Amino acid sequence: MKKLLIKLFSKAGYQIINKSKINFSVSNFQYELITTYANYAPWLQDAAFQNTYSRIKDNTLVDLYRCYELWELTGEIHALNNSVSFLEVGVWKGGTAGIISKRLALLNSAAPFYLADTFTGIVKASEKDDFYNGGEHADTTFETVETLMKDMYGNYKILTGIFPNETAHHIDHNEKFGLCHIDVDVYQSAKDIVDWIWDRLIIGGMIIFDDYGFHTTTGVTIYVNEMKNMSDRVVIYNLNGHAIIIKIK
Ligand SMILES: C[S@@+](CC[C@H](N)C(=O)[O-])C[C@H]1O[C@@H](n2cnc3c(N)ncnc32)[C@H](O)[C@@H]1O
């Protein structure tokens, strides 16, 4: 009977969700499936975004909403300063890097974009990370990313190895950054990247954490929460899962 009802509702275009089954805790954090009443959906009218998303969607673990936010914030940073550099750490098969790249290309930007990945998976997992041990997401290659990027943007550089420890020396000491997308899943990697970029980030520049709002990436939630109430930054939890840090001084 239950199955029949679910099937009937689904055919009629409704989705039945049992909220009691998706309300739980991990470590000290509470979780439930977030559904909001907002319904303004500009991505549906944005042909360039739709084309780009369909090109990269098989190369990403990131959903359409977070991809659209990266697309939009790339435009915002370009408008703020059209020569500052961009950095993504945690590229995997290149999907989110493709989104940022294509937006830069369509804005006729020539800003340097650095794409950092170990290509051997997650590193620096610790007791703060409930679901990661190290080595996850190793199912990608430099060539996979290079193939995607060739169609997307001219001024990119792929950095292979642990960032910042093994690869940050490839970036000029004085280079300034406008946007840093961090998608590394664990506490210590996330912290080391922020420690490296903070003094290089312009005022108004942003750090976007892919992993803040998910029970599988508790270390990143712990780390972002440590930054709350610091006077030099604003921390925003966008309910799509992103945390956005804006440097204000
Ligand atoms: C979840 S995946 C990234 C997903 C990707 N942004 C997408 O579009 O689906 C996480 C990636 O982070 C990389 N990674 C984790 N810590 C790193 C570090 N400190 N330096 C470089 N790469 C790192 C892993 O190798 C892995 O490919």
Residue 228 lies in a domain: yes
Amino acid at 8: L
Instruction: Tell me which of 87, 183, 223, 242 to substitute to probe ligand 1's pocket, judged by most ligand atoms within 8 Å of the beta carbon.
Output: 183
Is residue 240 within 8 Å of residue 69, measured between CB atoms?
A: yes
pLDDT for 19: 64
Nearest CA residue ID for atom 27, ligand 1: 92
Distance CA 208, CA 242 (A): 7
Atom of ligand 1 nearest to the CA of 119: 25
Contacts of 217 (CB under 8 A, 6+ apart): 129, 131, 132, 185, 186, 211
Residue 117 Cα to ligand 1 middle (Å): 6
Using a 6 Å cutoff on CB, does residue 98 contact ligand 1?
Answer: no
Question: Count of domains in the chain?
Answer: 1
| CATH number of the domain enclosing 160 | 3.40.50.150
Distance CA 183, CA 204 (A): 20
Residue 7 lies in a domain: no
Query: pLDDT in tens for each of the 249 residues of the chain?
Result: 777 887 888 788 887 776 666 789 998 999 999 989 999 999 999 999 999 999 999 999 999 999 999 999 999 999 999 999 999 999 999 999 999 999 999 999 999 999 999 999 999 999 999 999 999 999 999 999 999 999 899 999 999 999 999 999 999 999 999 999 999 999 999 999 999 999 999 999 999 999 999 999 999 999 999 999 999 999 999 999 999 999 999
Residue 22 lies in a domain: no
Residue 129 lies in a domain: yes
Residue 16 lies in a domain: no
Residue 31 lies in a domain: no
Residue 12 lies in a domain: no
Domain range for 58 is 41-247
